[in-house]
Structure formats: C-alpha cells, structure tokens
C-alpha cells in the first residue's frame, strides 16, 4: 500500500462530490418528459442545436457567478481562462444572426455556488428562440408547452405592477428605495447595508410575492421595470417597461423570457453598466464578450427567447420538492 493513501482518501471524501440520487423509475419518467419536449418542437419545425459549453468570455450580470476552467494546449506553457456557460444564450443568438431560424437547445449550464433544494452548480436548461415572436407570442407558446408536455391546461398572466399591488400594496415603478426598505422592515426583514431600488424589489419579490405565485397553475409575471431589462427590449409607455416575463409554478421560478434586444450599442452600454456595478461592489472584473456583440451588430432578427429550468420542471411535474430527486447524481459535500 502506498504511504499516505489513507489520508488521500480521507481528503477526497471531505470534498464536494456527486452521489446517487434519483431512482431508475424516476429517471425513466424524466426521459419520457424530455421526449415530449423534443416532440413539441419537432411538430413546430423548430431546429434543435447544440452549442459549446466552454466560452472565452462570460456574462457580466453581477448576480451570476461563472465557473472558470483553465485551458492549456499541448506543447504550450500558456494557459487561458475559459468559462463554463451559464446559459447558451450568446451562442444561440450568434446562430440566429447567421440565419438559423427558430431554434431550441437542451443542455447543461453551470453556475458558481448554487447548492440547495432548487439549485445545483450543474443543471439542465431548455432554451428556445422564436423568430418573429414578441414576449406575448412566446407566453402563448409556453402555455401550449405546458399543456402538451405536462397536461396543464390553465395558465395566468399578471404584470409586475399587479403582483406588487396585490401582495404589498405598492407601485414598484414609482416607489423609492427608501419606500421599499420601509416596507421590508415592516415585514420583519432585517438586512444590513444600503440597498439600491432593484435589490429591494428583488428581496421583497422573493420573500413576499414569489411563494404565493402559481399555486394551482403556472403564472406569467411580465412588464418588469426597465432597470431589470437585462437583454430585453424596453418600451416607453406610462412607465418604462422591459419586454420580459418570468414564469412561476407552485412558488418556484421556472423560466425567464425576453423580447430580445437587437441594438448592439445599447447592449454594450448595459454590459458596461454591469461592470460599473461590479467594480462598485468589489466583484470580479470581467471582459465583455466582443464576439457576441460583433455578431449582434450584423443584425439579430426580431425574436423572443426563453430559458427554462428542466430539472425544476420535472421536479414539479413529478410532485417532488427538490431537484436532487430527479437527477442521476446530486452534487453535495
């Protein structure tokens, strides 16, 4: 026996690892749902694609942390930091620019530090883009998706304003950060530090609105404040509104969709704003994905896209309360 082997094994067992999780019976049901998903898109002539998991750049979103990987070519002493995709969005939009038409992908996505009942650092994502759709058209198709894949016939739609008025009796578009912090304190939320308006909105939404959403059927929450537009178009109406939606079912966030921003200059400005926030918050500085922006300048077709968490979808469909019940192996320590 090699000296020190026992200690090595002890060290290994103390690290993060994957353990057996879902039963074989459950995995067969998972496979059936995945087959229905592919059938849904085949009937609509939406092309299935498979893009790379590694990228030279990652998202600038300060609320998402990527998992990096060092690449070193044989015979070279230089290493390059690459990133496991947090979603296939940039790559799929580059295909749209090249004329792919409507596309979808079922793939693995990776995010740093996400472990819990509804989070794993490696998870399965379904992302699709429909050329010629806006976010309302895509909500219509998602309703068909729920009916055909999960046999759920009813869905609801509520604006971001609707849910804040219903559950907190406040207008999220006109309320100040101070107004929102006052409400948070009245609800017993004790949070240290100064928060900006968007952070207060996120805290109040996650704690006092999200658990109530989609109790009996999926609900679409749409028309977010323009400050939460991310990669969505913005409309100027009574308020500046982001043409995006999120889907909630049984209090679980299930999907996030946009009427996609086509303006490369505006997208660059939003990325730079993210980087400014990162610097102010002492977060890692990142490079903007210039390849994505260069392709965006060539002309993204008018389209809407949505990313859906497949593990969560299957968890809800099979009436489990944690995603480890529906994946082959659970990431744990």
pLDDT digits (tens, 9 = 90+) for 95-110: 999 999 999 999 999 9
Determine whether 126 is exposed, middle or buried from the number of CB atoms within 10 Å of its CB (0-12, 13-18, 19+): buried
Q: Which domain holds residue 290?
A: 44-155+249-333
Residue 211 resides in a domain: no
Mean pLDDT, residues 284-296: 94
Q: Looking at residue 281, which CATH number applies to its domain?
A: 3.30.930.10
- Scanning the structure block, which residue is given the tokens 């009436």? 319
In a domain, 231, yes or no: no
Dist CA 66 CA 55 (whole Å)? 11
Residue 208 lies in a domain: no
**Among 55-69, 74-88, 178-192, 223-237, whose mean pLDDT is lowest?**
178-192
Residue 238 included in any domain: no
108 strand-pairing partners? 124
Mean pLDDT of 10-33: 81
Greatest pairwise CA separation for the chain in angstroms: 75
HSE-up of residue 108 (Cα within 13 Å, Cβ side):
10
- Distance from C-alpha of 276 to C-alpha of 270, rounded to nearest angstrom: 10
**Residue 189 within a domain:** no
- What length does the chain have? 333
Pair type for strands 122-131 and 103-110: antiparallel
The predicted pLDDT at position 252 comes to 92
Q: Helices 24-43 and 135-150: crossing angle, nearest 10°?
A: 130
Kindly tell me if the per-residue pLDDT of 187 is higher than 70. yes
Specify if 209 maps to a domain: no
Q: For 85-97, write each residue's pLDDT tens digit.
A: 999 999 999 999 9
Structure-model confidence comparison of residues 41 and 121, the more confident one: 41
Residue among 274, 318, 297 at smallest CA distance from 25: 318
Mean pLDDT of the chain: 91
Average pLDDT over residues 127-135: 98
Q: Quick one: CA dihedral 92, 304, 149, 311, positive or negative?
A: positive
d(CA 223, CA 226): 8
The total domain count for the chain is: 1
- Identify the burial level of 1 via C-beta atoms within 10 angstroms of its C-beta, where 0-12 means exposed, 13-18 middle and 19 or more buried: exposed
Within-domain flag for 21: no
Give yes or no for a contact between 157 and 220, defined as CB atoms under 8 angstroms apart. yes
Among 10-24, 263-277, 311-325, which stretch is predicted with the lowest mean pLDDT? 10-24
Alpha-carbon gap, residue 120 to 248, rounded angstroms: 19
For residue 47, what are its two tokens?
């092309």
pLDDT in tens, 2-21: 444 444 544 545 587 777 78
Asked if 26 contacts 318 with a C-beta cutoff of 8 angstroms, the reply is yes
Is 2 among the domain residues? no
């Amino acid at each position: 026996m090699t000296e020190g082997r026992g200690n090595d094994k002890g060290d290994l067992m103390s690290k993060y690892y994957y353990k057996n999780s879902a039963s074989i019976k459950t995995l067969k049901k998972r496979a059936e749902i995945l087959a229905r998903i592919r059938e849904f898109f085949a009937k609509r002539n939406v092309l299935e694609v498979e893009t790379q998991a590694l990228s030279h750049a990652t998202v600038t979103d300060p609320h998402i942390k990527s998992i990096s990987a060092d690449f070193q070519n044989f015979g070279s002493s230089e290493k390059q930091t690459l990133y496991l995709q947090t979603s296939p969005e940039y790559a799929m939009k580059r295909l749209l620019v090249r004329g792919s038409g409507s596309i979808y992908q079922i793939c693995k996505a990776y995010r740093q530090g996400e472990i819990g009942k509804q989070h794993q650092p490696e998870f399965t994502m379904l992302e699709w883009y429909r050329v010629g759709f806006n976010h309302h058209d895509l909500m219509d198709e998602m309703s068909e998706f729920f009916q055909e894949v999960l046999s759920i016939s009813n869905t609801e739609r509520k604006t971001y304003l609707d849910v804040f008025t219903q559950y907190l009796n406040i207008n999220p578009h006109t309320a100040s950060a101070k107004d929102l912090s006052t409400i948070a304190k009245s609800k017993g939320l004790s949070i240290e530090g100064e928060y900006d308006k968007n952070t207060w909105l996120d805290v109040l939404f996650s704690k006092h609105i999200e658990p109530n959403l989609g109790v009996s059927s999926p609900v679409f929450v749409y028309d977010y404040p323009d400050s939460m537009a991310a990669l969505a178009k913005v409309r100027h109406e009574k308020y500046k509104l982001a043409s995006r939606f999120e889907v909630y079912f049984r209090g679980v966030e299930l999907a996030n969709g946009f009427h996609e921003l086509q303006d490369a200059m505006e997208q660059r400005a939003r990325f730079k704003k993210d980087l400014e926030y990162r610097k102010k918050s002492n977060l890692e500085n990142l490079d903007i994905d210039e390849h994505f922006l260069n392709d965006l300048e060539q002309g993204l077709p008018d389209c809407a896209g949505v990313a859906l968490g497949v593990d969560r979808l299957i968890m809800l469909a099979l009436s489990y309360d944690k995603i480890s019940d529906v994946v082959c192996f659970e990431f744990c320590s």
